[in-house]
Amino acid sequence: REEYVEISPSDFFYRNKDIAGFDNPVRATYMIVRELVENALDACDRAGRAGNIYVAFRGKGSGVFQVEVLDDGIGVPEDEIPKAFGKVLYSSKYVLRQSRGTFGLGGTMALLYGQITTHEPFEVCSSIGDGYAARYRLRIDIQNNKPIVERKQRIKVPPGATFTLVKLTFEGNYERAKGKILEYLKQTAIITPYINIVFRDPKGAIYVFPRATTKLPEEPKESKYHPYGVDVEVLKRLISETKTRNLVSFLSKSFQSMGRQTAIKVLKKARLDPEKNPRKLTDRELVKLVRALRSYDKFRAPDASCLSPVGEEALEKGIVKELRPEFVKVVQRPPSAYEGHPFIVEVGVAYGGGVPATGDIVLYRFANRIPLLYDAASDVAYKVIRKIDWSTYYVDPARTPMAVFVHICSTKIPFKTVGKEFIADKPEIAREIELGIRECARALRSYILKKIAKQRIVER
Amino acid sequence: REEYVEISPSDFFYRNKDIAGFDNPVRATYMIVRELVENALDACDRAGRAGNIYVAFRGKGSGVFQVEVLDDGIGVPEDEIPKAFGKVLYSSKYVLRQSRGTFGLGGTMALLYGQITTHEPFEVCSSIGDGYAARYRLRIDIQNNKPIVERKQRIKVPPGATFTLVKLTFEGNYERAKGKILEYLKQTAIITPYINIVFRDPKGAIYVFPRATTKLPEEPKESKYHPYGVDVEVLKRLISETKTRNLVSFLSKSFQSMGRQTAIKVLKKARLDPEKNPRKLTDRELVKLVRALRSYDKFRAPDASCLSPVGEEALEKGIVKELRPEFVKVVQRPPSAYEGHPFIVEVGVAYGGGVPATGDIVLYRFANRIPLLYDAASDVAYKVIRKIDWSTYYVDPARTPMAVFVHICSTKIPFKTVGKEFIADKPEIAREIELGIRECARALRSYILKKIAKQRIVER
Ligand SMILES: Nc1ncnc2c1ncn2[C@@H]1O[C@H](COP(=O)(O)OP(=O)(O)OP(=O)(O)O)[C@@H](O)[C@H]1O
Ligand SMILES: Nc1ncnc2c1ncn2[C@@H]1O[C@H](COP(=O)(O)OP(=O)(O)OP(=O)(O)O)[C@@H](O)[C@H]1O
Ligand SMILES: [Mg+2]
Ligand SMILES: [Mg+2]
């Protein structure tokens, strides 16, 4: 009597597009812009150049819009285009290296939303620099999670030119999404100062967010897991992929921050023979090894070459340019790790000057250089700020004109939602945010005390 | 240079277990209880009886717990057990009928969490009443989204006896999750007064939540989509499944609240020939039909037989039993629809008496009889309450001892998270919540005004 059915992942995210962040036409309009811009930014970073992104809206009447996003990033190979855009859970970002994309969903969901609201196909045109561009007209077979190629062309382009153009039609609400879209582009420009963004709205108005620098950050490199916090599943996968033949080599080759000496100490803790072949571990031994890895507390801090923090100088510049505060202090915490993933927290506190007094501390949140504009109250950074007793820093959140900037970068940002709106309350991350905020708050306190002292001298 | 990879849906939810609601050991402990209890409650409802659920925790040392959930619901057929529990996106609840389960994920995620934290297999034992129970020991092949059967037995049981037992071992934190777990069971007892729940905690303490009534609600029946708000994808699927040969029959047979007269009016609006075969519709005609369905505003209200609201009387009893307020008013709104899905909002307002004055209105949220205990500030009900000017009802949220209960039931609850923590801001739903709250608030205002008048008479 009960009917047991399997559905595809695209069918799941279609039925539950609220889960994917597309819960109403206003939010969907914002999501389409941010998902396509984030793909373009990732592509420009992979190209290792100070990229250029062009976003154009055209109104088609009765709530229907066409949006085009063009970037000069690395492009997509011709035979990968249909699956990259027409299939969910298909991605080039399932690697241990910082990127904005992480789920293998966002771009495809934006295109899917267009398809279900207007029944129009979407277009992707891209070149990886071989002198040809592939131009596809595509739809998504939602029930089976595969692309439908309606048309394909090959176009000659200058050799070496790389770019990607994505065009779709959807039903949305630009007027009510406009504020958030422009705020998103503005905050993106702060946190990625080496990128040019040009935005054309449905009325033809042009907004330019010019690059503030041509200096690129170090490109993040693919990394291995950090041993701190890994689970049994990760260990099993590493064992199934390893070419090593004994446990010491397995541990020191499979993980970062793990030399042979440390490996021997961990194996001793787990009471495992260092010469044993990892594939011969029994289930009980696997669990003992995981427990030993979790409880060993002397691992070197993670290698941060897989990460691309903003940097104290660049973050400070961005805050000053945006808010013109009387005082600013920026702190980059040392690399840390949670559940095998390296992460770095960067915090900035701005006070006075152009910082508005809004009745509460203004919180700007970023993750892997993505501005997070929704659901602040559910975010780990907000919870940390709420728990701090600000009076010890001579700050009254209700009256002090103060803004806090929090940027977290990691090989995996623990978003609580597919729409990447807010970050889960991980103890390791909460701790680093708190330490960063307190360090900035101490500097703010010194500044405030000096200011009070100066005013008293003046008053005498 | 870029490596394009596909991952399975179980791999996706394993890598992103924060998205699934399992973001730390405390939250995971709560989620495991609620996911298994919700499965048990759905099974008891499908059995059409006043069910019994037994939840037992046993501490195994160093943060490891074993949990067992036993229910006397409809059970799972022997050959379906491995996939129902060992595969994500596999469910008996992908139908248009109210149930707690909706994603095809929850139970499997709980079992997956146990597997990745302890490497232990899990056990399922169930009978559908044919005199035999199937008992499986299972694991999940996460990379391929399929069950691994480690052991299977058939056990003789009394014919007609139906039950399901799920047992798993996981690493969690019962002490810090205890408060939320007990609150969840208590609120479940309020909103499902016909169910018996017995809970044994790791120390052996027994908590009993006895049924308050044997009177069962009407069992919800499978329904068709309501025509209001359907999208192109739904229409295409209905067309691919229909046996009708002309558009009038197609519309009136495929949708609820759509008679032949209404179908003819809608087709006229879409300028489509009523005799046309639905399979012969062109893309442009499909879009015209969807637009006509969306803009036609005279559809009958949905048929609520696919829903199972609590009912004004039962909800009021539950509120009175829980809070012993001085005043209570409960309103069940008429059925409405969003995006093709019928829904009913039920609101209760309680004032004074045992209602605590906490400095803000206390909000109790329920969806399809599931208590929602997290992230209230992101929920649509909270946003509605924040927007109301309470002074017109002689209420000061900061000082009036007042609680608001909101229950939404639907064939699809628009949760914004896989963890079912809060509900998306859908305009149709927000509107019904507001109308329900205002109706209760007006009754409260009359009561408060009478109370003030009486006090003045007494004072003279
Ligand atoms: N503008 C682009 N330039 C180059 N590659 C792109 C572009 N847009 C998409 N892609 C490719 O398509 C893949 C899928 O994109 P999609 O946005 O669906 O997922 P994702 O970016 O990997 O993850 P997320 O869901 O977190 O955004 C990307 O991994 C990337 O390889
Ligand atoms: N106690 C139970 N009794 C009967 N059937 C069950 C029980 N637990 C699970 N099932 C079956 O297993 C299926 C999968 O359960 P699972 O919790 O993974 O998903 P769901 O309940 O369908 O959706 P959700 O993810 O929203 O909980 C259910 O649809 C149901 O058919
Ligand atoms: Mg993306
Ligand atoms: Mg379930």
pLDDT mean over B225-236: 91
Residue A419: per-residue pLDDT: 95
Condensed to tens digits (0 to 9), the pLDDT of residues A94-152 reads: 999 999 999 999 999 999 999 999 999 999 999 999 999 999 999 999 999 999 999 99
To the nearest whole Å, the CA of A63 is away from the closest chain B CA by 12
Phi, psi of A123 (to 5 degrees): -125, 140
Residue pair B306/B222 in contact by the 8 Å Cβ criterion: yes
pLDDT mean over A418-442: 96
Asked whether the predicted pLDDT for residue B200 surpasses 90, the reply is yes
Hey, do A9-209 and A304-459 end up sharing a CATH topology, with the first three levels equal? no
Residue pair B238/B340 in contact by the 8 Å Cβ criterion: no
Residue B81: per-residue pLDDT: 98
Going by pLDDT thresholds of 50, 70 and 90, the confidence category of residue B455 is very high
Kindly give, in sequence order, each residue whose CB lies less than 8 Å from that of residue B255, ignoring residues fewer than 6 positions away: B224, B225, B226, B227, B230
Q: What is the CATH number of domain B311-459?
A: 3.30.230.10
Condensed to tens digits (0 to 9), the pLDDT of residues B408-418 reads: 999 999 999 99
* Strands annotated E in A284-383: 327-332, 336-338, 341-351, 362-367, 370-372
User: Which of 3.30.565.10, 3.30.450.20, 3.10.105.10, 2.60.40.1940 is the CATH number of B9-209?
Assistant: 3.30.565.10
Residue A297: per-residue pLDDT: 86
Task: Give the nearest partner residue to A287 out of B104, B119, B290, using CB atoms.
Answer: B119
The answer, yes or no, to whether any atom of ligand 1 lies below 6 A from the CB of A257, is no
Q: Which mutation among B42, B69, B138, B415 tests ligand 2's pocket best, with the greatest number of atoms within 8 A of CB?
A: B42
Domain spanning A304-459: CATH 3.30.230.10: yes
The dihedral sign for the CA sequence A435, A441, A443, A446: negative
Mean pLDDT of chain B: 96
- For residue B284, the chain A residue with the least C-alpha distance is A119
Condensed to tens digits (0 to 9), the pLDDT of residues B94-122 reads: 999 999 999 999 999 999 999 999 999 99
Contacts of B426 in chain A (CB under 8 A): 23-24
A89 vs B377: CB contact, 8 Å cut-off?
Answer: no
B6 vs A232: CB contact, 8 Å cut-off?
Answer: no
Q: Which fold has domain A232-295?
A: Helicase, Ruva Protein; domain 3 (1.10.8)
Going by pLDDT thresholds of 50, 70 and 90, the confidence category of residue B459 is confident
Task: Give the nearest partner residue to B90 out of A6, A46, A414, using CB atoms.
Answer: A6
Residue nearest ligand 1's atom 21 by CA: A101
Going by pLDDT thresholds of 50, 70 and 90, the confidence category of residue A23 is confident
A116 vs B19: CB contact, 8 Å cut-off?
Answer: no
Condensed to tens digits (0 to 9), the pLDDT of residues B312-330 reads: 999 999 999 989 999 999 9
Task: Give the nearest partner residue to B424 out of A4, A23, A415, using CB atoms.
Answer: A23
SS3 state of residue B405: strand
Going by pLDDT thresholds of 50, 70 and 90, the confidence category of residue A459 is confident
Task: Give the nearest partner residue to A427 out of B24, B103, B115, using CB atoms.
Answer: B24
Question: What type of residue sits at position A99?
Answer: S
Residue B115: per-residue pLDDT: 96
Query: What one-character-per-residue DSSP string does B23-76 give?
Result: -SHHHHHHHHHHHHHHHHHHHHHHHTS--EEEEEEEEEETTEEEEEEEE-SS--
pLDDT mean over A349-368: 95
Residue A229: per-residue pLDDT: 85
Going by pLDDT thresholds of 50, 70 and 90, the confidence category of residue B221 is very high
Q: Where are the domains of chain A?
A: 9-209, 232-295, 304-459
Condensed to tens digits (0 to 9), the pLDDT of residues A151-195 reads: 999 999 999 999 999 999 999 999 999 999 999 999 999 999 999
pLDDT mean over B250-256: 95
Asked whether the predicted pLDDT for residue B229 surpasses 90, the reply is no
DSSP state of A354: T
Size of interface A-B (CB pairs under 8 A): 151
HEC string for A302-314 = CCHHHCCCCCHHH
Condensed to tens digits (0 to 9), the pLDDT of residues A296-331 reads: 989 998 999 999 999 999 999 999 998 999 999 999
Asked if the C-beta of A3 comes within 8 angstroms of chain B's C-beta atoms, the answer is yes
Residue B151: per-residue pLDDT: 98
Measured CA to CA, the distance from residue A395 to residue A389 in angstroms comes to: 9
Q: Of all residues in chain B, what percent are helix, strand and coil, respectively (each to 5)? A: 40, 25, 35
Asked if the C-beta of A269 comes within 8 angstroms of chain B's C-beta atoms, the answer is no
pLDDT mean over A44-57: 96
The answer, yes or no, to whether any atom of ligand 2 lies below 6 A from the CB of B108, is yes
pLDDT mean over B135-153: 98
Question: What type of residue sits at position B62?
Answer: S
Asked whether the predicted pLDDT for residue B1 surpasses 90, the reply is no
SS3 state of residue A177: helix
Residue A148: per-residue pLDDT: 98
- Quote the ligand 2 centre to B107 CA distance (angstroms): 6
Residue pair A415/A424 in contact by the 8 Å Cβ criterion: yes
A237 vs B143: CB contact, 8 Å cut-off?
Answer: yes
SS3 state of residue B171: strand
Phi, psi of A149 (to 5 degrees): -85, 115
B90 vs A378: CB contact, 8 Å cut-off?
Answer: no
